[in-house]
Structure 1
Amino acid sequence: MRDPQITSKIMSSVKSRDTRPEMVLRSALWHRGLRFRVRYRVTGRPDIVFPGPRVAVFVDGDFWHGNSWRVRGMSSFEAQFERMNNAEFWRAKIIGNMLRDERVAQDLADADWTVYRVFESRLKTDLASVVDEIEQLVRSKAASRRRQSTTSPEESNGILVDGSGEGKCRDQ
């Protein structure tokens, strides 16, 4: 068993923003001519925000947001905890993160934002498609909002998770 002080030092070095996957995605979006905000104050603190079209992008780490077992080829979500120290703590922590992700996505959708969530592993394997999806989403939402400002308002909120258009990640 590892000394708690060593574990604390390791955990304190884990970045919560400006991670490599975020930076790669931000760079690719910028090169496409998409301009966005980071550290924008909106519910859930999205990693990338397009305020005009009201699109919030979250880059989720596989471990922290419950996708690690798929990436590591395990049979189930529970399997990743079998050989962990303090397995119940980590299971509860990750489930709590996943529930918070759903709550934040719903709160943003209720406030007329579109939420796009992507796992870091998808960015590593399919960056171009993710950038295409976000670009299409942002440009269509921007055009829709311009039309709405000249006509009557329409219902246009939604949650787009990993490009699937459903309220849950398509892998779940």
Structure 2
Amino acid sequence: MADIFTPEKRSWVMSRIRGTNTKIDIKMKKMLQENKIKFEMYPKMFGNPDFVIRKKKIIIFCDGDFWHGYKYHEKKRLPKKYWRDKIETNMRRDRRITRKLRRDGWSVLRFWEHDIEKKTNTCINRITRKILEK
């Protein structure tokens, strides 16, 4: 199936997809604030995490289900090679970033979009447990 957009239009459409202040990032920010957890949002550091709790050396990533490949290998294969390559590259990059940050002494927490939206208590409990163990 051919793309319905020209390469220029596809580029424009893709440029409109936000990487910051997404719905799940805002929901995570609200959860952290409600639980009085001091954090920094979008710190300028390796891996571009969504949140960091510097005093405890905890990094939080909020991963979109589609873009970061939730159950990617269980799903029907995407018809367009472009999308397969894009998502698989994102997944490899996520693993590489997580490994490096952990080697550098950070605790890395990754939350899926659907968990942030539907299992907020589970997410905040994971963060709280990690804070208490550090």
Asked if Structure 1 and Structure 2 have the same fold, meaning a TM-score greater than 0.5 normalized by the shorter chain, the answer is: yes
Is the CA contact 1:64–1:97 (under 8 Å) kept in the aligned structure 2? yes
Query: Max radius of gyration: which structure?
Result: 1
* Contact 1:39 1:46 (8 Å CA) reproduced: yes
1:48 has 2:41 as partner: no
The answer for the alignment partner of 1:3 in structure 2 is: 5
The answer on whether the counterparts of 2:27 and 2:117 sit within 8 Å (CA) in structure 1 is: no
Aligned to 1:60: 63
2:78 matched to which residue of 1? 81
RCO higher in 1 or 2 (8 Å CA, sep ≥ 6)? 2
Q: Which amino acid aligns with 1:57?
A: I
State the secondary structure of the residue aligned to 1:115.
Answer: strand
TM-score (norm 2): 0.89
Aligned residues: 131
Deviation at 1:68, TM superposition (A): 6.5
The one-letter amino acid of 2:5's match is: D
Aligned-pair distance for 1:31? 0.8
Residue 80 of structure 1: how far off its partner (Å): 4.3
Q: Percent identity?
A: 26
Alignment of 1:102 with 2:100, yes or no, is no
CA RMSD of aligned residues (A): 1.6
**Distance in 1 between residues matched to 2:30 and 2:22, nearest whole Å:** 12
Whole-angstrom CA distance in 1 between matches of 2:86 and 2:9: 20
Normalising by the residue count of structure 1, what TM-score does the alignment of the two structures yield?
A: 0.71
Give the ranges of 4+ consecutive aligned residues of structure 1 lying more than 6 Å apart after TM superposition: none
